[in-house]
Structure 1
Amino acid sequence: MFIDRGLTPSRDNGTLAPLGEYDMDFARELFDSFFGLGTVTSPIYLFVCVAIAFLIYQTRNEDDGFVAWLVPRHIWTHRSTGLDLVLFAIGRVMSALGLVTRFTVTPLFAAMFADHLPWNAIDGANLSPIALGFIFWIASDFSVYWVHRAHHQIKTIWPLHAVHHSAEVMTPFTAYRQHPLGLLVIAAIQTMIMGIVLGILIGSLNPDATTAQIFGVNAFTIVAILLMSNFHHAHINISYGPVLERIFISPTMHRVHHSTDPAHYNKNYGSFLAIWDWMFGTLYVTKGNENLTLGLTTKDDAPLMTHRLGPVLIDPVRRMFRPTR
């Protein structure tokens, strides 16, 4: 999701801004990185998530009351959740500092790639904001699929992504359980893939072109988060059924992706859309509410399963540069 706008180091007229203005810029960026509409932990998203969860709860015969069912003590007091919160905070500060900015450089890759195409791409300047916003959303989702798949299939960078898969329980904060170096790798790869896709589809991006946005966030991304994303990292099993799960990634499909069952390995890499998994042979359609165990089971991954910040930060980097046998 292209939500990182970075900091503005100077005024429009080129003069340096007062130090206090930098502080205010950073404060705004920091607040937005934690609670803005580009983050699944936005209070608006969480409110909608609770409302949807309440409707789901009404259809199920649960022994616990709604609050105990929605926020189980054993999950929110688990060490895995504690690490989720710490890595969430680190990642959000990195975002506020502009260290994981992607969108601002994606147009450069699009322009460079479009210049070497043997055909003329669609002129993005002639597209409506809604059409352009949809294209950006599709390109983003497609790029996320390949970035995610690369992290599983390229041994050098898997240790960074293994941090995310070491979660034994799921909360919305698990989405941000990422190694700090991994965030930079994700940003770099996704920037290139997004640039290539947009270069093919709409060529060089006109600086004046606008997309359908709400408070600076792609409107299609907001709709997708509201309807799907917050339950992808949650303890609540929600299946869409065999038809819709060939189009959209359901929460249970993503839980399958985190499963320790070898039958589930290398499945369901998609973010919002399942069509990429279907097209490229990695789709796993769920069988209702599957009983899943989450986490990692190999000896190499044991340090990550301690859910301690030190080993989680150090061990993946050590493994990346370990000589192959």
Structure 2
Amino acid sequence: MMLDAVQPLIAPLLYVNDPAKRLFWMHILGSVVLAAWYFRAALPGLGPGALARRLLCKKYWWNASTRIDYALLFLNTFLKLVVFIPMLGGQLGVALITARVLHLHVLDAPQISAGPIFVSLSFTMVAFVFDDAARFLTHLAMHRNPFLWRIHRLHHSATTLTPFTVFRTHPIESFINYLRSIVTLGLISGVFIWGFGAQLQVWDILGVNALGFLLTLAGSNLRHSHIPLGFGSFERYIISPAQHQLHHSIDHGHGNLGAYLALWDRWNKTFIWGSSAHNLSFGLNDYEEKASPNRVLPVVDFTR
């Protein structure tokens, strides 16, 4: 009983062993390797000692901005485990309800005959894309609705971006994100269970959707950092760390709202190339402190 009571309080300390979290040790290692590669390319004369000092600078990891990130990491994790999950349940519950509603009120489960590889690949791709689109729409609403912006601007108030800034969210936003996650993934899972049967499997790496795992490994932790790693022409398809840093920039109109895929921003005309990420300042300007940042956003330039 003592362990059950303490677990919600120490859960973030265990994220290093959880493949579903950005703080998983493999994701951290991947980001360190990419950061080292970036600094060695940008500053060829940088030695190992100087590189280590840049990566481990105390003033970067411990200041007034980052202390808020750490506090909200523990607060929101506690709320998720103690309030959100008991209140809302999880993805499986939504999936079973969806499959049952489709079976009873739409059409008897067709039990489509298809090879397991085709079903797993389709489910993996559809779940990833559908979830990514839901993330984009939720994020867009956070920036366009005045009430939601008052909640979301806590995330944008960070003046120092570190991998922990991803956890810098208002508890209401954390609740919305958890609800979005179980509903979107539960709906897709329910549709596939209804159509193909209960023996549904996703292509995974260590229990995580393979696409999400690989893209997180490829520098997602650097999105909230001061390392403007760009993906060049691949930014047409995948959001780079540099592009997300532009999203946090005071001077770039809050473009690049996507999580992983860039196509939503291209369609919404909120796409900015990562090459613009130089000498950025992060935080909120006076206008954003008071209202939703409904500014004119940059039009996509596909001539590059």
TM-score normalised over the length of structure 1: 0.73
Shift of 1:296: 0.7
Q: Is the 8 A contact 1:212 1:219 kept in 2?
A: yes
Task: Give the C-alpha shift of residue 21 in structure 1.
Answer: 8.5
Which letter maps to 2:164?
Answer: F
Q: Note closer, same or farther for the CA distance 1:150–1:300 as it changes in structure 2 (3 Å cut).
A: closer
Pairing partner for 2:271 from 275, 283, 288? 283
User: What's the C-alpha RMSD, in Å, of the aligned pairs?
Assistant: 3.4
1:9-24 matched pairs, under 5 angstroms: 19=1
The 1:138–1:272 alpha-carbon spacing in structure 2 relative to 1, beyond 3 Å, is same
1:71 corresponds to: 56
Summarize the Cα distance change of 1:130–1:31 in structure 2 as closer, same or farther, 3 Å threshold.
Answer: farther
Residue deviations 1:275-323 (CA, integer Å, cap 9, x gap): 1111232211233542211111136738xxxxxxxxxxxxxxxxxxxxx
More helix by share: 2
Equivalent-residue separation in structure 2 for 1:244 and 1:113 (angstroms): 40
2:128 alignment counterpart = 137
Whether the 8 Å contact between 1:33 and 1:95 is mirrored in structure 2 is no
User: Deviations for 1:200-247, whole angstroms, at most 9, x for unmatched residues?
Assistant: 788667443121223332222211110131111111111122x21110
* 1:228 corresponding residue in structure 2: 219
2:123 and 2:267 map into 1 onto residues whose CA distance is 23
Determine the C-alpha separation between the residues in 2 that align with 1:204 and 1:53: 44
* Alpha-carbon contact 1:107-1:205 (below 8 Å) kept: no
Equivalent residues in 2 for 1:29-108, closer than 5 Å: 32-33=14-15, 35-61=17-43, 65-97=50-82, 99=84, 102-108=90-96
1:244 aligns with 2:273: no
| Pair 1:289–1:22, CA change in 2 (3 A) | closer
Give the Cα–Cα distance (whole angstroms) in 1 for the partners of residues 284 and 97 of structure 2. Answer: 36
1:49–1:30 CA distance, 2 compared to 1 (3 A): closer
Q: CA deviation at 1:194?
A: 4.4
Q: Show the counterpart of 1:273.
A: 261
Relative to structure 1, the CA distance from residue 280 to residue 206 in structure 2 (aligned partners, 3 Å threshold; closer, same or farther) is farther
Identity of aligned residues (%): 24
Alignment match, 2:177: 186
Structure 2 unaligned regions, length at least 5: 291-304
